[in-house]
Structure 1
Amino acid sequence: MRIPKFVLTLFLVGTSAIFAQEKQVTLEDIWRGTFSQERLESLKSLNNGTEYIVLNQDRKAGSSSIDVYDYKSGEKKGSLLNSSDLSELSGFQSYELSQDENMILLATDVDQIYRHSSKGIFYIYDVKSKELKKLSENKVQEPTFSPDNSKVAYVFENNLFVKDLASGKETQITTDGKKNEVINGITDWVYEEEFAFVRGFDWNADGTKVAFLRFDEIDVPEFSMDIIGKDLYPTATTFKYPKAGEANAIVSLHMYDLATAKTSDINLGDYEDFYIPRIKWTNNPDVLSVQVLNRHQNDLDLIFVNAKTNEVKVVLNEKDSAYVDVTDNLTFLADNSFIWTSEKDGYNHIYHYDKNGKLLNRITKGDWEVTNYYGFNPKSKRIYFQSTENGSVNRDVYSIKTDGSKKTRLTQKTGTNNADFSADFTYFINTYNSTSTPNEYTLHDAKSGKLVRKIKDNSELLELEKAFDFSPKELSTIEINGNNLNMWTIKPSDFDATKKYPLLMYQYSGPGSQTVSNSYFGANDYWYQMLADLGYIIVSVDGRGTGFKGAAFKKVTQNELGKFELEDQIAAAKKLGELEYIDSERIGIWGWSFGGFMSTNAILKANDVFKMAIAVAPVSSWRFYDTIYTERYMTTPQENASGYDENSPINHVDKLKGNYLLVHGSGDDNVHVQNSMRLIEALVQANKQFDWAIYPDRNHGIYGGNTRLHLYTKMTNFIKENL
C-alpha cells in the first residue's frame, strides 16, 4: 500500500526523533574520548601584556609548537618555536620560559615518578639565535632558570647541580644524595603528595644564591611494593613512606652562594619534629621567606632569613585549634610588603602585611571563601581573586583595592569562572562552565570585566550530546543534621514521579573537598547518565567536613575522620528514601580513596540503609596512611587511638551485610594495596562474602590501556546485578 507523502514525512520526523532519544551512552564512548572538551593547553601571558602563548600538539605530524596570539584580536602572530623546524627533536611535552623570554626549557622523554614528580631529558632553546642545546645527557628533575637566564639549577639522583649556559660548566652543589637516604633540592614522597610541591630549591632575585631543602630519610620506615611486570620474575620498588605516628624525614634548610661556592646551614630555631612546607625568596635578594609548621600542623611561623648574616626572624604566626592550611598565595610586592591568606576569622580571606609582618589591612571579608588568588596590579593597586561570594557551588572573579574598597565582580555568568590574567593585568582569559555549559574561553577587560571577544567554546560537544538526550544535573540543598548540604541529582531522562527508582549515592567526603559544584560533566557524570538510562537515580551530597562553607563546617570532623561524614550520608540516604519515587530498599553508595573509606563504612555501619557499596582504593585503617595528611586531621595514633580505630572499616568487618565490591591497584604508592589486603583478610576470617578485584601494577588512579574501561564495566555490572 502506498503511504501518502505528508504521512510519510510525519513518520520519518517522528522516528528520527525517537532514534535520537534512543541513542545510549556507552562506556567505550566515555573512556575513548567521545566527550572530550576543547581546551587551551599551557596558556601563558607574554611579558608585553598584549600577547599570550599556547602549546599546540600536531598529533598527525608528531610535532609541538608554542604559538603566539594577540589578546585583543585573537590573531595568531607566529610561533616562538615549532619542533618541526628542529632536527634534534620531533616534539616536546611541556615548556618553561626564562624571565626575559629569550630562552625556553623543553621537556622530552618524560617519566612520571609520583603524582607531581617526573624526570626527563631537557633542551634549552635560544629564541633569538634559534640554537638548541641539551641541558644534560641524564634524565633530571625540576630544571629552573636563574633570574638572568645565564644558569639552570636542577636535581639529578638526589643531588643539586647548577649549569652555566655560556660556558657549559656544571657545578655539583651537593654530593651526599642517595636513594632512600638523603634528598637535596626536591621533596620526599609525603611532602610531594600532601604539600603538593616537588622543587625544594629557589633562586634569589639576582641569581647569586640558591636556597634548598635537604631531607634525611634514613630513619623513615621503608615501604616495599611488588611490580608484577611482564618478566619471569617480579621486581620490587622500595621508597620511604612515613605512616601515621612514625618517623618523618629530618628536613633542613641550606643556602648556596655562587660567588664563594660555599653552602651555609640555616638554623631556623628551636623547632622539633617540624615541616618546611614552603620556601620563597622575597623581592630583596638578601631576604628568604620560610614557612615552618609543627607536626600537629596547627602552628605555622613565617620566617625571614637574612642571607648575609643567616639571622632569622619570625614575622607572622598562624595558630588554629585544628590545623593551618598551607597555600601558594604568599606574594611579595615591590616594597617587600606581602599578601597572605588566612582562615583566622572563620573564612579564607586576603590580608596585607608590611615587610616586617605588621598587618596593614584586611582586604576581603564576609561569610564566603577566597578560593584563588591571581595577583596584584601595582599600577591600579588592585588585587584579583576568585571566591564563593555568589554561593559555595559557584566561582566568580573579582578585583579589589588593597585598602578593601571598590570590589568589582568581573564575571557575569553564574557557574564556575576561572581567570588567567595578562602580565600587565590589562586582560584576562576567563574559563567558564556550568552544569549545562562545557568550557567557554572568552577575553575580558580586567578593569571592568567587559567582554572583548570569544575565543573558543565547546558548541560541537553540545551538538554531539543532543543525540543522547542527557538529563540535567540538578543542583539543590538538603537539610541534614541541622545543615543545608549541597546536593546534585541526575534522574532518568524519562523520569516518572509515580514510579519507584533505585538510588546510587556518590561521595568523596574528604576534608575541604567538593563534589557538588555548578560545573560541567566529567567522565563520571557521563557514566551516571548511562546509569540513569538504565533506570537509576544518582545523587551526591557534600556533608560536614567538605569545603568552601567556612572553617567550622570543614573542621568539625577533626580527630574523628569518618564519623560526622558518615552520619550525614546515612541521614541523607534515609531522607531521600522517604521520597515517593525512591525505592528505600534499593539504595547503594560508592566512592574512591577517601570516598571508598566512606562507602565501606556505610555498608558496614549502616547495612540497614545501604543494600550495596563499591569502594575503589579505600583507606581501611588510618594507621596505614601517611603522617602529613592523617595527623593533620587526626593527630597521631599514639595520641588518638580511639579516633583511628572506631572509624576504620577494618575494625567493623563483622557487620557486613548486603553486596560489597572492593577494588584496588597493586601499584598504588599513595593508598597502599595493603589497606585492601588487610581488609580482605579480616572479611575472610569473619566469613563474609564479597567481591573484589586487584589491578596489577596500577596506581591510585587505576588507568592505562583498557584498565578504566574494564573497571567501569565491572562496577556497572555489579550495580545492575545488586541494586
Structure 2
Amino acid sequence: MNKKFFLILSLLGFLTISTAQKKKITLEEIWGGEFRTEYMDVLRSMKNGKQYTILNFTQSPQTSSLDKYDYQTLEKVETIVASGGTVPFFTSYTFSEDESKIMLATEVEPIFRRSRLGIYYVYDIASKSMTKVSDTKIQEPMLSPDGSKVAYVQDNDLYIFNVASKTVQQITTDGNKGTIINGVTDWVYEEEFAFVRAFEWNSDGSKIAFLRFDETEVPLFSMDVYGQGLYPFPYEFKYPKAGENNSIVTLHMLDVKSGSISKVDLGNPYYIPRIKWMNSPEHLSVQTINRHQNHIKLLDVNAKDNSVSILLEEKDKAYVDIDDDLTFLPDDSFIWTSEGDGFNHLYLHSKNGKLKNQITNGPWEVTQYYGYDEANDKIYYQSVENGSINRDVYSIASSGKDKKRLSNKEGTNSAAFSADYTYYINTFSSATTPYEFTLHQVAKGKRIKDLKEDNELISKGRLIKDNGALLKKLEGYELVPKEFSTININGNDLNMWMMKPADFDPAKKYPMIMFQYSGPGSQQVANSWLGSNDYWHEMLASEGYIVVCVDGRGTGYKGRDFKKVTYLNLVKYETEDQIAAAKKLSELPYVDEDRTGIWGWSFGGHMSTNCLLKGNDVFEMGIAVAPVTNWRFYDTIYTERFLRTPEENPEGYDNESPFNYPELLKGKYLLVHGSGDDNVHVQNSMRMIEALVQANKPFDWAIYPDKNHGIYGGNTRLHLFTKMTNFIKENL
C-alpha cells in the first residue's frame, strides 16, 4: 500500500478535542436549522462608492427596510424606505440607474427556478411617494435609466408604464401561452442559460432590445398535480427534450418614443443566450451560438439602422460555455473570458473586436470576474491559482501586469467591491471556519487619504460579521474534519475528501459511503464551510461510517481538457472513476470492501445508479435522488451541449442509461423522486422502476407528491433523509 496515498491538507485542529460526552448531530437538528450560518445580506454599493445598501427584515412583526450604511464606519446612515403605512412588506429592490427611484417587489410567487410573479411599486426617494406599477402580477419589471418608466412583461407581452402619468402602453400584442413569449425566456433558456428577463433598456432610455420566443413547435410536457382536491389536474408547459424542436428566437428593437418595433436580422442564429447594451446607446452586443454549442459569435448591432457586424467568433471541438463576464470599458473596448489556451482566462479586446492582449495566464482558472477600475487600470477577479479547491481574490492591470493577491486566508474567498473600488467586503470560509465577512481597503493612495480610520486596520480587514457563536455551539458536538487529499485514478490526480469516525481505529474495518455529483464543470471537493449534506455526512461518521467524496473527470476548475474529456460520452468516464476510486479505497486496511455504498442527487443520482449496476462487484448499496436515467428525457440545451442529439449520437445516450441494463443490479437500491419535478421529470424514475420490475430485481423507492427537483417543504427533507439514513444502516 502506498504510504503517500493520503496527503492531508492543513485541516488539523478542527474540533479535534476529546469526544467524550459530546452530542451526536441529529436529523431533526440539521433540517430544523440548528446549524444555520449567520450570513451577510446581499449588499449593493451606492454609486458614490462610500456607502452601500442592505435589505433588512424582522420576523415579529414582519417588516422590511432598505438601509444605507457607510463603508468607512460600517454604521447605518439612514433608512431609505421601510414597510409600514402606505409601504407594503417588500422582499427585493432595484435602483434606477440614477438612484432616484427604487423598484420594490411584493407578493412574489415562484414560477420555475428563477422566474417570479409579483406586485411591484416604484418608490421616489425625493418625494417619498409610492406608485403601483400594476394591479395584477407581472414579471421582470425594469426601470428606465432615469426612473421615469418601467418596462415589464405580463401574459407574455411587453408593456411600458409611465410613472408620472400612471399610464400603460402595451408594446407587443401577440403574446400567448404555449406559442409566443415576448421579453422573458422560455423554460429551457431559463434553466440552462440562467436568465429570465429577455429585454434591456439602452443607456439613454431611447431603445429597448428584446427577444421573442416562438415555442409553437416545442413539444408539450404534462405532469399531474395531486394537490388537496378530489381530482388531480395536469400541469402543462413547453419542454424540449434532447433532439426535439426548440423555440425559434428572434431579436427585436423598440424605439420607445415612436413605439415602432423592428426585427434585427442576425442571420438565423439557433440560440441567443445573451444581449447586452454597450456604453454607447446606439450599440447592442448580442451573443449567438449554434445548436451544437461549439461556435459562439459576439455581434455588434447598430441600433440606428439594425446593421450587424461580428466582433469575435470562438469555436471549440466540444462546446463553449456561456457566462456573464462580458464587460464593456468606457470606450467600449471589452473584456471577454475564454478557455482558448486550455484554461478559463480573461482577454482584452478593442472596440472593433481585435484582441489586444490576454490579461490572465497560467495553468489555473479564473472563476469569477468582478469588474474594472478605470481610474487605476485594475481588473478584479477570483481564481483557483492557489489550488483548485481554494478561491482567492486578485487584482491585475489590463496589460496583464502587476498581479496582486488581495485575499489572505486559505479557503474560499469572494469579494463585493464598492462602486469606485476603494473598498471591498471579503466573504471567507473554509472547511474549518464558517463564513466571515471583513471590510478591506483595495489599495492605499490619494483616493483614501481622507480616511479618519486606521488605514492599516482596514487594509488587513475589519471584521463585520462572523459565526463564532456557531463554532462555539459545535464544540459540544461530535464532529470530524474533512481530510483533503488527491487520489490517482485512471492516470489523473483527483481531488478527494474523507471523513472518519471520531473514535477512528486504524485496526478496525469500517463501511464506506461515497457521495458525488460529477456533472460537467461542477465541484464537490472544495475548501469551504459545511452545507446541510455535510452535516448529514458528519452524522453518518458518528454512526461509524467512513464518508468519501471524489471529483472525477468531467468536473471543474482543472482545465478545459479535464472537464471536456467526457464529451459525447456523458457519465461513462465519471462512472469509471468512481468505481476505480472505490476499488482503490477498499484496499485501505480500515475499509470493509464488502460494505461500500454510493449516493447522489440529480446528475449524481444517475451516477450512483450507474455505479451500482456497472460496479456491481464493488458497490453493495446505492441511493439515487431525482436521477436522470436516460439523457433522451432531459432538455435540449444542457444535454446536446455534451452529447449532441440522440440522432447523431445514440450510443452516447443509451450505453450509459441504467434502465437498459437492469439485470446488472445486485446490491441494495433506493430510488427517490418528486412527482412535481419540472426539471428532471419523474418519468426518469418510472422508466427505471419498470425496467427493474421486468428484470424481477428487488429495490426500494419513494415518490414525494407534488415536490419539485429540490424535494423540500415542511417535513419533507427530514422524512427523506430519515429514510436514506435507515436504508444505509440496514444495508451497509
Relative to structure 1, the CA distance from residue 361 to residue 529 in structure 2 (aligned partners, 3 Å threshold; closer, same or farther) is: same
Question: CA–CA distance in 2 between the matches of 1:102 and 1:352?
Answer: 33
SS at match of 1:438: coil
Question: CA–CA distance in 1 between the matches of 2:70 and 2:21?
Answer: 42
How far the C-alpha of 1:88 sits from its partner, in A, is: 4.2
Question: CA–CA distance in 1 between the matches of 2:69 and 2:478?
Answer: 37
**Matched ranges for 1:580-599 at <5 A:** 580-599=589-608
What's the counterpart of residue 562 of structure 1?
571
1:27 matched to 2:23? The reply is no
What's the counterpart of residue 267 of structure 1?
265
What's the counterpart of residue 320 of structure 1?
316
How far the C-alpha of 1:270 sits from its partner, in A, is: 4.6
CA RMSD in angstroms, aligned pairs only: 1.1
Correspondence for 1:515 among 524, 536, 542: 524
**Matched ranges for 1:186-197 at <5 A:** 186-197=184-195
Instruction: After superposition, give the CA deviation of every residue in 1:80-112 in whole Å (9 maximum; x if it has no partner).
Output: 11113x3341x2111111112221111111110
What's the counterpart of residue 62 of structure 1?
62
**Matched ranges for 1:620-631 at <5 A:** 620-631=629-640
Question: CA–CA distance in 1 between the matches of 2:418 and 2:714?
Answer: 38
What's the counterpart of residue 446 of structure 1?
442
Question: CA–CA distance in 2 between the matches of 1:64 and 1:20?
Answer: 44
SS at match of 2:435: strand
What's the counterpart of residue 696 of structure 1?
705
Correspondence for 1:255 among 253, 256, 261: 253
Number of residue pairs the alignment of both structures matches: 703
Q: Which residue identity does 1:219 align to in structure 2?
A: E
What's the counterpart of residue 626 of structure 2?
617
Relative to structure 1, the CA distance from residue 181 to residue 233 in structure 2 (aligned partners, 3 Å threshold; closer, same or farther) is: same
How far the C-alpha of 1:450 sits from its partner, in A, is: 2.3
Question: CA–CA distance in 2 between the matches of 1:109 and 1:712?
Answer: 32
Question: CA–CA distance in 1 between the matches of 2:230 and 2:388?
Answer: 53
Question: CA–CA distance in 2 between the matches of 1:462 and 1:452?
Answer: 21
Question: CA–CA distance in 2 between the matches of 1:20 and 1:707?
Answer: 33
How far the C-alpha of 1:395 sits from its partner, in A, is: 0.2
How far the C-alpha of 1:519 sits from its partner, in A, is: 0.3
What's the counterpart of residue 546 of structure 2?
537
Correspondence for 2:657 among 629, 643, 648: 648
What's the counterpart of residue 9 of structure 1?
none
What's the counterpart of residue 479 of structure 1?
488
How far the C-alpha of 1:473 sits from its partner, in A, is: 1.2
Relative to structure 1, the CA distance from residue 361 to residue 66 in structure 2 (aligned partners, 3 Å threshold; closer, same or farther) is: same
1:401 matched to 2:397? The reply is yes
How far the C-alpha of 1:20 sits from its partner, in A, is: 6.4
**Matched ranges for 1:72-91 at <5 A:** 72-84=72-84, 86-89=85-88, 91=89
2:25–2:478 contact (8 Å) kept in structure 1: no
SS at match of 2:538: helix
Q: Which residue identity does 1:522 align to in structure 2?
A: G
Question: CA–CA distance in 2 between the matches of 1:607 and 1:562?
Answer: 16
Q: Which runs of 5+ in 2 are unaligned?
A: 1-16, 445-457
Correspondence for 2:233 among 212, 229, 235: 235
SS at match of 1:125: strand
1:151–1:163 contact (8 Å) kept in structure 2: yes
Q: Which residue identity does 1:586 align to in structure 2?
A: R
How far the C-alpha of 1:41 sits from its partner, in A, is: 1.4
Indicate the larger mover: 317-326 or 64-73.
64-73
SS at match of 2:197: coil
SS at match of 1:425: coil
Indicate the larger mover: 164-173 or 429-438.
164-173
What's the counterpart of residue 140 of structure 1?
138
1:667–1:698 contact (8 Å) kept in structure 2: yes
1:95–1:105 contact (8 Å) kept in structure 2: yes
Correspondence for 1:345 among 341, 346, 367: 341
Question: CA–CA distance in 2 between the matches of 1:469 and 1:225?
Answer: 43
Question: CA–CA distance in 2 between the matches of 1:400 and 1:87?
Answer: 48
What's the counterpart of residue 167 of structure 2?
169
1:20–1:467 contact (8 Å) kept in structure 2: no
Q: Which residue identity does 1:324 align to in structure 2?
A: V
TM-score, length basis structure 2? 0.95
Identity across aligned pairs (percent)? 62
Question: CA–CA distance in 2 between the matches of 1:202 and 1:545?
Answer: 35
TM-score, length basis structure 1? 0.96
How far the C-alpha of 1:447 sits from its partner, in A, is: 2.1
Question: CA–CA distance in 1 between the matches of 2:311 and 2:47?
Answer: 32
Instruction: After superposition, give the CA deviation of every residue in 1:279-321 in whole Å (9 maximum; x if it has no partner).
Output: 0010111111100100000000100011111110011001000
Question: CA–CA distance in 1 between the matches of 2:251 and 2:21?
Answer: 63
**Matched ranges for 1:414-429 at <5 A:** 414-429=410-425
How far the C-alpha of 1:452 sits from its partner, in A, is: 4.0
Correspondence for 2:689 among 680, 686, 696: 680
Question: CA–CA distance in 1 between the matches of 2:401 and 2:228?
Answer: 63
Instruction: After superposition, give the CA deviation of every residue in 1:127-175 in whole Å (9 maximum; x if it has no partner).
Output: 1211112111011111111111111100001001111111112111111
How far the C-alpha of 1:470 sits from its partner, in A, is: 0.8
Q: Which residue identity does 1:494 align to in structure 2?
A: D
Question: CA–CA distance in 1 between the matches of 2:105 and 2:42?
Answer: 13
2:131–2:163 contact (8 Å) kept in structure 1: no
Correspondence for 2:118 among 92, 111, 120: 120
Q: Which residue identity does 1:60 align to in structure 2?
A: S
Q: Which runs of 5+ in 1 are unaligned?
A: 1-16
